[in-house]
Structure 1
Amino acid sequence: MVAQAPRSMGSPRETASAPASPSAPAPARASNQARSPGAALAGQRESGLQEQYSNLCMEKSQKINPFILHILQELDEEIKKGLEGGITLNIAGNNRLVLVERVTSEDFWILSRILKNCLYINGLDVGYNLISDVGAYYAARLLQKQLYLTYLNLMFNDIGPEGGELIAKALHKNQTLKYLRMTGNKIENTGGMFFAAMLQINSSLEKLDLGDCDLEESTVHVGCMLKENHCLVALHMCKHDMKNSGIQQLCDALYLNSSLRYLDVSCNKITHDGMVYVADVLKSNTTLEVIDLSFNRIEDAGANYLSEALTSHNRNLKALSVVSNNIKGEGLVALSQSMKTNLTFSHIYIWGNKFDEATCIAYSHLIQTGRLKPDNTDVEPFVVDGHVYLAEVSNGLKKHYYWTSTYGESYDHSSNAGYALVPVGQQP
């Protein structure tokens, strides 16, 4: 579908190539860089974000989005109380606590005009909205102009291949963004190829989430770029339809990578044959600390490959999730044995597999002896009629991957252990 542009602005490509208006003043790039966040806050107290937004909407004949207005009003009130820099602006469309009018590309156009001068805002969450390729163009512009933004969440918008290209190309020069979430945007292989190329050039991005972006063929290219990229710390590639050949090529790249600590390849089509390559990487790789293999099909054979590597070779991996992998007692017990000899291996998640009595006894013993802390696994033992069973508990590597709890601690470490073990920017 061709992206529809905001009124009188043209498509992203047309806007990008259009000559600047001769009457428009040159952007004061140097002065923006020179301003400190403290100075920006002082200026903000004179003219609040809410007022700036309302005035700009009137100037551009753009309808005011009441949700954006409400969020900016709350932020203005916090600033008046003396809030310092380092703010994440949360305008996610799945907010269940206030009435939400989802942000469109036109809304984001106005918002980006305001945020490019807000040096004290270093995080922006506009996930679950209606931002299309046109909005992606303004997101790309924002990445080029806002020099303090370290976190950008665009998950589950309507960004396609063209928008993916624009954002990826903006990251060729951006040196501040550390964490980008593109989760759920259907940028497809075309957009994925541009992100793969970006990883060869960008030297600041530490965490990239391309989960559920309809990447298949380009998954291989993204993985291969790990040979060249030595700043990426966390890579999420869930729901890529990745098969054993894909994980093989990804593992081949990891031999030459010296930075990646968190690898998420959950919800793919990897079997026990693919675990041969993962196990071999674990025998030589010295940086990987968290691997998420949930919702694949590695079975007992795959679990045994991993167990052998963790028992005899690897002393760096801290957390492993093999949730729902059709593993039976043999493989699950083998993984439990790894924890007895490998003291670095501290977190394991096994729910959704086929527990037998030996499995229940093995993990019960690990927990009762203190080798496996209750917060570091997703099962807990209980006894009925003298037999040990395992019940599920709500712990995991990324329980809040798609949503954030509206009560209790938003980023509880036991529910989001992967983010706690490998913290990068805004969590999760």
Structure 2
Amino acid sequence: MPEQSPLELAEGDPFGPHNLPYGVFTTADQPERRRLGVRVGGHVLDAGAAAHALGSPYAALLDQPGLNPLMAAGRTAWRDVRRALTAWVTVPAHRPDIEPLLHPLGAVTMHLPYEVADYVDFYASEHHATNVGRIFRPDGDALTPNWKHLPIGYHGRAGTIVVSGTDVTRPSGQRKAPSDPAPVFGPSVKLDIEAEVGFVVGTPSRQGSPVELASFRDHVFGLSLLNDWSARDIQAWEYVPLGPFLGKSFATSVSAWVTPLEALDAARVAPPARTHDLLPYLDDADEEEPGGFDLRISVSLNGRVISEPPFSTMYWTAAQQLAHMTVNGASLRTGDLFASGTVSGGRREERGSFLELTWNGTEPLELPDGKRTFLEDGDEITLTAWAPGPDGTRVGLGEVTGRIVAG
């Protein structure tokens, strides 16, 4: 019997032609040559080579070592390239040209798929913000007075964004417990995760020109899972009066795969009901397209699922975050990355950080290898997710994995 084509995917494969996320890979025989690829099932298609083989007008955008040129080309190009890729992997006549250009995922090395320009992290889950407020302000208001009026965020460190699979070195810094007379220096003892979703900007904007809610799709190329590693003890001591700094800047892990927004059309949902009137630039009540995404995230510790945060519960949408991020005239650049903030639901098993799961270490998780409050050296965290796709399919998001190593 003839060998089955790698383009003949199992029914329900979450990385079928309805998905087609982008990534950057190298092969063992050419480890220095980075190539733009598209995931098809358990393989990655060399997109640039495919474009040349089929005489595509998009070869200049796809024969690249990263996603930035395609992302900068704009929404029309994103749509047209996606249509071409879909045809290349579904039309039988293209198989003789396409099949030799498919590489098994296990035989390639994945890299950061784009050059990160700026990085902003938000705080958009009401469940997460409420939990944090109750932990640290048990006798006060859980939410800060501004929380329901604007998406709170901070400008992070773009240079320490790393691709999935990169080890994370336990950071050191100053920390001071309330009972300590003075701060001490050493490795973090409250190393944590934050299960998030990151959105990457393709089309830039002009400085001084805010991006409106309705222009979200014109600027945002796609999304990926993201883990915002957090040293809670370092963060707690440095946090007042400014925002996160060394407690966050040591590493942020992103998926090797960027899922185009168009692949998630069937996953668009309305955000939770608003409890406060919003200023016009954030008011999405009359927007034609719902601003939320129904992403089902799973968090695993050493192979065991410990949480399943639902992204559909996020109070602030990515479009509102983009609008707020630029309302003062700040410009966008190709490769800008902005993250949702920790994704948490209303139940304990839906909390997206150890800070919440263990209530700042006072309620340890019971695991087969013992109790856990925060991360230990050798622990490996993996985020996976899927979203509803067209015609009952599922759209898989590329995983994010990171292992903690001693500093």
Task: Name which structure has the greater RCO, CA cutoff 8 Å, separation 6+.
Answer: 2
Q: TM-score range by the shorter chain?
A: under 0.3
Q: Which has a greater percent of helix?
A: 1
Give the TM-score taking structure 2 as reference length. 0.24
Flag the structure with larger Rg: 1
Give the TM-score taking structure 1 as reference length. 0.23
Q: Which has a greater percent of strand?
A: 2
